[in-house]
Amino acid sequence: MSAIFAVANQKGGVGKTTTAVNLAAALALSEQRTLLVDLDPQGNATMGCGVDKRSLKTSVYQVLLEMADVAGARQVSPAVENGKLHVLPANRDLAGAEVELVDEERREKRLKEALAKVDSEYDFILIDCPPSLSMLTLNGLCAAHGVVIPMQCEYYALEGLSDLVNTIKRVHANLNADLKIIGLLRVMFDPRSTLTAQVSAQLEQHFGDKVFKAVIPRNVRLAEAPSYGQPGVVFDRAAKGAQAYLEFAREMIERVRPA
């Protein structure tokens, strides 16, 4: 059985896609069979894995509308040589899914049902959610066993967190009893900032061991990588940001399958 994690935070630009892409690639580099699901019409995770969103014949959109299977829509990421990173890609079509699903039955469970058919083929399935608590994110949360929440250690980060935690609680109560918060990941971390240190300490106090030990620093190589169609961990493996994501992947594997 695969471990399915949604990378979610309704706040925009907090590092969801960077986390989803780099964790997925790092897991694949560790020989874990990994599927990255792009649930954002922006298609950034798709592009970040070297798959061209402009030339997709089938994408996650058709999967949600039950016009295609995951097996027919996924692609092998050309960015990871061992072929262990697969992508269920997205592009702007996906923006229409929200409206088109409104009158459909089991609309929040479409992704869950589609992924069930490929479950045995993967060790990890990661879902990159869009920056909203929409039907798309709801599909991600219904399909997942756990949520990974990337966050910047700044004052407003904590405010947004309570909305997300409440949504996760509601989904847990009504739609998906498996769902739990796997952990909070500190990203774009600036160790020189006093505020960062304060917020980081508050997080640890409040969430205890739900805060991942791995910390992702602000690192320009991670931001440059997508324009080469590569995850940061492939583009410049030695860079501080890449090393942090590789460390995070090891922590993740350890949490899921303790030695």
Q: Which member of 17, 32, 91, 219 binds Mg ion (CB under 5 A)?
A: 17
CA atoms within 13 A on the CB side of 229: 9
191 makes contact with ligand ATP (CB under 6 A): no
Structure tokens at 57: 């014949």
Least distance to ligand ATP, CB of residue 16, Å? 3
Amino acid at 235: F
Cβ-based nearer residue to Mg ion, 16 or 110? 16
Angle at 15 between CA 13 and CA 17, to 5 degrees: 100
Cβ burial of 165 (10 Å; 0-12, 13-18, 19+) is middle
Q: Which member of 107, 170, 180, 218 binds ligand ATP (CB under 6 A)?
A: 218
Q: Which member of 98, 131, 134, 228 binds ligand ATP (CB under 6 A)?
A: 131
Least distance to Mg ion, CB of residue 46, Å? 11
User: Parallel, antiparallel, or unpaired: how do β-strands 211-217 and 180-189 relate?
Assistant: parallel
Cβ atoms of 29 and 82 within 8 Å: the answer is yes
Query: How big is the site for ligand ATP, counted in residues (CB under 6 A)?
Result: 19
How far, in Å, CA of 258 to CA of 34, rounded? 18
15 makes contact with ligand ATP (CB under 6 A): yes
Of the candidates 111, 36, 121, the one whose C-alpha atom is nearest the C-alpha of residue 68 is 111
187 makes contact with ligand ATP (CB under 6 A): yes
* Segment lying near ligand ATP (by CB under 6 A), choices 8-16, 72-80, 104-112, 139-147: 8-16
Site residues, ligand ATP (CB under 6 A): 12-18, 40, 44, 131, 187-188, 216, 218-220, 222-223, 241
Site residues, Mg ion (CB under 5 A): 16-17
